[in-house]
Homo-oligomer: A and B are copies of this chain.
Amino acid sequence: MSDRKRRNRSVGLTSAATLVALSLATPQAYAADGKIIHDAEHYVLEAQHGAKWAMEDADIQAKLAALEAKHGMKPNIIHIMWDDTGVGEVGIPEIQAVRGFETPNMNQMADEGINFMRMYSEIACTQTRAAFQTGRYAVRSGMHSVAFPVESSGIDADEVMIAELLSDVGYKTAFYGKWHLGDTEPSYAHNQGYDEAFFTPYNQVPSMWVEGAELNNVVTGLFPEFYGEDKYDIDNSWQPNGYVWTLEGTKGGETLEWGPPPTVTNFWDIETEAQRRTLAFIDKSVEANEPFFIAYHPIALGFIPDPREKSKLTANKNVLQEALVRIDTFVGELFTHLDAKGISDNTLVIVMADNGPFTHFGPRGQVETLYTGGKGDFTEGGVRVPAIAKWEGVIEPDQIVGDIVHVTDLYTTFARLGGAMDGIPRDRVIDGVDQTSLFLNGDGNSRRDYVMIYQHKKLAAGVKGRFKRDWKNATPGLSMNEFYDLYTDPREANGEMIEQFHVKSMFNRQLARHNLWVEKYPNRAEPTPGPALTGIANERPETAKLRTSPVDLEKLPFTPEQMNNYPLPLSGSDF
């Protein structure tokens, strides 16, 4: 509901040129000293294990220094993150055997690195991508909702992205693929720390906004001309008539729209181009003898079949599994490329999904595997994702890691590896904890036993080790069996009270601590508003039209600002 309301609200009215001015040059308000502020729960663990962690960290620092000395630079980092995939769909060939497809390269990655069995994401695309880029739960940066065209808002310029951190310490940084963090100029990837960017501001829209999408029963019309004439349709103010699919830009440089509007035959060119640029950026960095950080976030899965394929790649045949195989092929090419460049032993590669399967009216074949629920749910099926890390000679091969990790931890861990810890802001909560010890020392070395799972702005569930509390359905006073033991009941089929009465007060305290910290370090309420899709040097007339209201604003009894500042409903009972 909120996303739909939000979309209707934003377009045409609030995106008009009258919106408050935003500065691209907002100074990043953080100190370069002091300790990182973590979520409150972290301190409970630190109080118990801090001394041990400090000793481990000294060893890790020595090891990283030795590696830097050996290679003459910091390690390269490549992060690949795609959509909507349940735990087990990649990296566990036994499960693939019963699903009728195979990702040999990523399975081999698992054999040669770490298969994370408990990587938590946020519940949906925008949220996880914001969490990854900022090291903070999406709710803290206001990125608590999935962005759809046209939002006229985006991630705030004051958020300190991982690319900014790494850029500041000498990394060459690049983003290719699905960005999904807003459509305002400050939110563009190359305005958020990336030296080079080639990105879709939203999601897989390029694969939906073609006539062929209707064949797959996914999209019956994003745009007015997809519908037949409807004589009852009397509001012509909100449906966009122009659109932008892919942007490209360089840090401090101009923004360009890339390529022609996608068609059923060319929409995959975006993916191909993103992959081509990924390999080219590696080459360029190697040539410059500079460490690189590349986030390649595939637009695959698309919502319609790849038009280049005469027959399916898999017995499974559905768009997710077909997409996984295509991503897997690129992962194979990537490792071949790293080997050819001689940098495999100085490059950390992580592949993962952004949230659970798209089980709620998503494409066919998007189903639960090990966990209950999918994208959008606070059950494990929504927020546990496949994740594999490989780093030749540094990460021990063939590890299955059962520890809790959160996507925000990659922010802090990449900062540690890149020597960019000092750049992490000290004026806000950073949810990501440094998991370098887990990466280097393996199973049992996580510095996290908790996850707070949000839906929109509301805490829906808390995780503590094997236990989980469903806050969304909790009742005051006596429990409504909202406790789960995830070893015993990983599918959260049977909420319990009697067997877990001892965990109730712990979860109460966890929540109290968490909320105390939220009060102290308040969340940004919403994505930062702004005019949509501005600053495009080769702007098409249709794009400019997106920012022009078809309604005479003078005739309305409220202003776009008033609309834009009125808070959206919270989740659940607040709807």
**A99→B490 contact, CB < 8 A:** yes
Report whether B92 and A367 are in contact in the complex, using a CB–CB cutoff of 8 Å. no
Q: How far is the CA of A367 from the CA of B488 in the complex (A)?
A: 8
Task: Enumerate chain B residues within 8 angstroms of A276, measured Cβ to Cβ.
Answer: none
Residues on the B chain within 8 Å of A364, using CB: 488, 499
Interface of A is mostly: loop
Chain A positions 385-422 with a Cβ under 8 Å from a chain B Cβ: 400-402
Interfacial chain B residues near A316, Cβ < 8 Å: 487-488
Report whether B98 and A490 are in contact in the complex, using a CB–CB cutoff of 8 Å.
Answer: yes
A451 contacts B by Cβ under 8 Å: no
Chain B CB count within 10 A is highest, among A87, A92, A488, for A488
Q: Encode contact with B along A84-103: 1 for CB under 8 Å, 0 otherwise.
A: 00011001111101111100
Tell me the complex Cα distance, A318–B486, Å.
12
Which residue on B lies nearest to A316, using beta carbons? B487
Chain B residues, CB < 8 A from A400: 93-94, 97
Pairwise interchain contact A487-B94, C-beta atoms closer than 8 A: no
Q: In whole angstroms, how far apart are the Cα atoms of A540 and B317 in the complex?
A: 63
> Is A315 among interface residues, defined by CB-CB distance under 8 A?
yes
A368 within 8 A of B: yes
Q: How many A residues have CB within 8 A of the partner chain? A: 38
Most-contacted residue by chain B among A466, A487, A491 (CB, 10 A)? A487
By a CB distance below 8 angstroms, the chain B residues around A488 are: 316-318, 364-365, 367
State the CA gap A98–B494 with chains docked (Å).
17
Identify A95's interface contact among B367, B370, B499, CB under 8 A.
B370
Q: Which residues of B contact A101 (CB under 8 A)?
A: 487
Q: Which of B370, B489, B494 contacts A370 (CB 8 A)?
A: B370
A493 at the interface (CB under 8 A from B): yes
Query: Which listed residue, B92, B369, B493, touches A92 by the CB 8 Å rule?
Result: B92
Q: Could you tell me if B367 and A315 are in contact, using CB atoms closer than 8 angstroms?
A: no
| Cα of A488 to Cα of B94 in the assembled complex, Å | 16
The reply to whether B92 and A118 form a contact with Cβ atoms under 8 Å apart is no
Supply 22 A–B pairs (Cβ within 8 Å), ascending by A. Answer: A88-B94, A94-B115, A94-B400, A95-B370, A97-B402, A98-B370, A98-B402, A98-B490, A100-B402, A316-B487, A316-B488, A317-B487, A317-B488, A364-B488, A365-B488, A367-B490, A367-B494, A368-B493, A369-B370, A369-B490, A369-B491, A370-B370
- Interface pairs A-B: 5 shortest CB-CB: A100-B487, A97-B402, A97-B117, A316-B487, A365-B488
